[in-house]
Amino acid sequence: MKTVDYILKLIYPQRCVFCGELLNLNSREAVCEKCGNIDRLEYKTCILCRRELENKSNPICGKCMSKLGVFSDGISLYKYKDVRDAILSFKYSGMKRRGIAFGKIMGHAVKDSNTRLITADVIIPVPISRERFKERGYNQSDVLAKEISKEIGTKYISDVLIRTKNTVPQNSLNEIERRMNVFNAFKLNEKYNVEGKKIIIVDDIFTTGSTLNECGKTLKKAGAEELFYLTLAKTEI
């Protein structure tokens, strides 16, 4: 370890991105030993057709996904209940550094996965409203996407999609209300041409997929060739 890095770690000791426990000075990981054992989401067979899955972090195979919606592949890393506190502190308590560490973890997961995400041309975040940005000081999905981009070498663009209305928080709504809440909530930024592009859309949490699907529809309408989703966690409905 370089002397400067060592001094910085003494002044600003590293903590586990999930539980906040102090890490060893020589640690190169963002998580402690205990949290490193948090189970990743893993499925063996498609929940619709029962075919064996190549992508174990997506419960639906690519063939069924293409029939159901706009995405052809996707990854959600963790069960939300296992990482809830860490996500909430990143999202609402100004702990942006946690998001940077999460992004690195997500990037490594893409590189290690047997998925089509690695073929993407561009990676983009789900946009938030101006009001939410003023409250938090950053878009949590943007923090993740930027860091993932560095890890996987895929071009990152922050403002391909624009949020056109300030929707109410999705976690307070049922599935039908969620779909109505985000209906026509996004538009394409006219300075970008996404025709023929393969795009990863990044969000922090996958619940019903309403927000991601609405973003995807906007991009498909603009001519995007193939879409993938990438989220840190997925809730169990």
For residues 53-67, average pLDDT = 72
CA distance 84 to 44: 24
Domains of the chain in sequence order: 1-37 (no CATH), 70-234 (3.40.50)
Does residue 6 register a pLDDT over 50?
A: no
Q: Which of 171, 140, 174, 175 is CA-nearest to residue 158?
A: 140
Residue predicted with more confidence, 36 or 226: 226
The predicted pLDDT at position 81 comes to 92
The predicted pLDDT at position 67 comes to 63
Q: Which of 24, 21, 19 is CA-nearest to residue 9?
A: 24
Where is 156: in which H helix or E strand? strand 155-156
Averaged pLDDT of the chain: 85
Binned at pLDDT 50, 70 and 90, residue 115 comes out as confident
Residue predicted with more confidence, 23 or 160: 160
Residue 167, CA atoms < 13 Å, CB-side half-sphere: 23
For residues 202-231, average pLDDT = 93
CA distance 203 to 90: 13
The predicted pLDDT at position 7 comes to 45
The predicted pLDDT at position 204 comes to 96
CA distance 131 to 72: 32
Residue predicted with more confidence, 94 or 60: 94
Specify the 3-state DSSP secondary structure of 141: helix
The 10 Å Cβ neighbour count of residue 223 is: 12
Residue 186 bridge partners (DSSP): 163
Specify the 3-state DSSP secondary structure of 41: coil
Binned at pLDDT 50, 70 and 90, residue 104 comes out as very high
The predicted pLDDT at position 32 comes to 82
Token couple for 54: 């190549």
Does residue 230 register a pLDDT over 90?
A: yes
Of 1-5, 208-212, 213-217, 223-227, the one with minimum mean pLDDT is 1-5
The predicted pLDDT at position 10 comes to 46
CA distance 160 to 126: 9
CA distance 121 to 154: 6
